[in-house]
Amino acid sequence: DASAVTVSYTHIWRAHEFRTVNIWFLCAQSTLNTNACVLVATATIKGALTVWQLSDTHEPQLYASCTTPSGEIVTAIALTRRECLSYVVIGDARGSVSLFALPSAPAAQDSVMVQLVAFMKLHGSDPVSCIEPHSSGFVTAGHDGMVNIYQEVSCKSDQSLSWVHVSKLNCLPINTPDQIIVAEDSSSGDVRDVGLFVCGYHGSAFMIWDLRRGYQVMRVEGGGWKRPHRCMLSSIGDSAQLVRGLPSVLFVCPAPLLKDNTVLQLFGAQPVCSEPSANNSEVVTSFPQHLGCPAHGKVAYCNTLLSIPTVVEGSVQEKKFVVVGGEESCVKVFSAPDLLLCQEMSLSLNSSLKSLSSAHSATNPERGIVLGGGGKLQYYIWTYDGALGSTSSSSLGAVLHTAAEGTTWAKATQDHRILSVQCAYLDASVSVHPKTGVEMFVERYSILLCDSRGTATLGLFEYAPLSAVTGAKKAVFYAQFRVLQTLQPSQCPLLSSSLLYASATREGVSAKREGLVTIFGDTAGSVSVWTLARETNLSLASAVWKPAVKCGSYVAHSMGANALSATIVAGAACADNAAQLLICSGGDDQSISCARCTVQFDSAVAENEVNIDVCKVVDASGSAIKGLKLVPASLSVLFNPAGDEGGVSAEWEYHLASAGYDQRLSLWAVTLAMDQPASDYHTNQEKPSTSGSTLRVEWKAGAMVNVSDVGAVDVLRSRSADVDASEVLCCVVGEGMQMFNLVL
């Protein structure tokens, strides 16, 4: 067989008197002289380095040798060539870098390489881990987490070459970089025209710098429970394969359950980033994105986007904000999409904020509430009101106003946390203040608080907006939160939840239905669906909710249902007092699970009688999915759910945005066959996204996220009919935050 590989010869020789510590392959014969040979360098103790020439004579020949200036062991080496001369760059175990001239041919006797320049302890006292040369110098990285850049200079008097230290970059949190790749512009010799790619210890992370502008373009971490063992970048030398100077990134990950298998994960199929515009506020990509900024001094866990229409000089303008919470005991409000800090409020009891949710009033979209929950089972309710003139993104005026706060359990400790919160607008009516007797306009919101005990608290929040006061009525601020029911959906911590309000009047259909749907995801990967019906024969102010009924459950993930987003399918044919649901979840098993079911509000339906059609997309992410959000594919579902003619569409499409620890934002299309009767559903049957199911999930687009340790994703489609329906605002938070304009 001509393709068979055979060993023609071997080389065995004593390189040093004492043990050989390191060995490197330097170059083949084509880079030095015309003889058929290769150069190999070996290192031993006390900083000794020897270069050997190996040829087909089977006799290794001593080529040259040197000793590091510090006398420390050589830990990294690289060969660089200038015209007819070759140089060896050496890094040692104590952070020093030195450069030696390499002879063009082996000497008859022991040839000692001439030291040209030495940079002592530029990496502190930590080892130099890697050296990468380029056309005008070289770059070194060390275990101090720093990257040093050196540039070649020419002496005008004798035309001799030397090298100078240009700059130092901090590549933290990559504490121990072990791979550097330089992609440079061949038309320029300036070191600042190169792009620098740094890979961390065991390839668990890598980052990209634009050296000419001096800013970090992107950082990607493997993260999660599939920790990459190596990170490789393809086609660095071929500029035609680069997208705006950025290569494809290949992570090699071990499969944790199947040790003999290896998962290869490719990033960069689409443009991931580009140069900032003149105003330094927007980056144009396949997903146009806005430059991220630190959301918190520590990691951010949650966010929610607000759209507040306000009247300015007779015209309606839509102000957008993003509310962010995290490990710091405060909540911050930024204007969107330019991410200018508008407001910062401290939280009580020095507790973290683990989840945020928002809902706007159906009677007046200018006002609404923001709900938060976190450590020590603390919950917080804030209100916003555009009519009060507090939502100007051009000033630092307050956007949120504290309305209520408390705890769901007085004995809670820091180990008890509210992990997921949800809120939904219910209704509004004229009521009487319980103490003053003043007539007031009261809006009601349902509140859902899910904690680490597996307990869910369902409550009702009522408040009287000051902007609703008209005429001679006295302005009275009124806010009250009361618990309606306490559920125990799981014995495991509840990581995610969804709260939906089904009302015939709000959905524009003729079916008589009114009730709440609560959906829970826990650490075991299970998702359960519960319903609550309301006694509609009573007035809105005194309405009573029936006990919650568990409709069904299914195993969505093998572990950890981290994120959940659900919606009531608009225009679906349902019986009276029923609603059809679309439930999407993302988990620690790196999959996305989409489910479809129909629930009843008027009777206690046995759990095993509810059919749930499940479609699961495995390996939807390179790591754990931490956030996802459903958004209708068209504005018509917001303004006219039943269609222009009031009929039922043959199928309906939703968009799903997801992100996780792999720092990749993905956009999916979820399609439902609207004419499929519920009796044809397949209960709890896993199907691939290409099957002929009533559900179909297809990947549409993706982009890299310059936010590590992703914690949450939120999506906002403008409520204004004048805004382009194809543009959707998306915010990703973690160690920092980043805004995207999703073009659907």
Query: pLDDT for 174-198, tens place per residue?
Result: 667 777 777 665 555 444 445 666 6
Residue 555 is predicted with a pLDDT of 93
Q: What count of other Cβ atoms lies within 10 Å of the Cβ of residue 434?
A: 8
Model confidence over 233-279: pLDDT tens digits? 544 443 333 333 344 444 444 433 333 444 434 343 233 333 333 33
Q: What is the CA radius of gyration of the chain?
A: 31
Please state, in angstroms and rounded to a whole number, the distance separating the CA atoms of residues 393 and 196. 37
Q: What count of other Cβ atoms lies within 10 Å of the Cβ of residue 464?
A: 22
Please state, in angstroms and rounded to a whole number, the distance separating the CA atoms of residues 522 and 505. 33
Q: Name the residue with higher pLDDT: 304 or 472.
A: 304
What is the model's pTM?
0.64
Non-local CB neighbours of 10 within 8 Å, separated by 6+ positions: 58
As given in the structure block, the two tokens for residue 34 are 């015309």
Average pLDDT over the chain reads 74
Please state, in angstroms and rounded to a whole number, the distance separating the CA atoms of residues 64 and 74. 15
Model confidence over 340-368: pLDDT tens digits? 888 888 887 778 899 999 999 988 888 89
As given in the structure block, the two tokens for residue 143 are 């275990």
Model confidence over 460-485: pLDDT tens digits? 999 887 656 554 455 556 888 999 99
Q: What count of other Cβ atoms lies within 10 Å of the Cβ of residue 20?
A: 13
Section 12-31 average pLDDT: 74
- Cα atoms found within 13 Å of the Cα of residue 58, Cβ hemisphere only: 4
Q: Are 471 and 439 in contact (CB under 8 A)?
A: no
Q: Examine the pLDDT at 329 and tell me if it is beyond 50.
A: yes
Confidence of residue 724 (pLDDT cuts 50, 70, 90): low
The dihedral over CA atoms of 650, 655, 660, 665, expressed in degrees to the nearest 10, equals 130
Confidence of residue 648 (pLDDT cuts 50, 70, 90): very low
Section 14-25 average pLDDT: 80
Non-local CB neighbours of 494 within 8 Å, separated by 6+ positions: 419, 420, 450, 451, 452, 454, 455, 456, 520, 521, 522
Section 372-380 average pLDDT: 92
Non-local CB neighbours of 36 within 8 Å, separated by 6+ positions: 29, 55, 56
Domain boundaries, the chain: 179-272, 293-488
As given in the structure block, the two tokens for residue 462 are 């009522």
Non-local CB neighbours of 249 within 8 Å, separated by 6+ positions: 206, 220, 231, 232, 233, 234, 266, 267, 268
First to last CA, the chain: 54
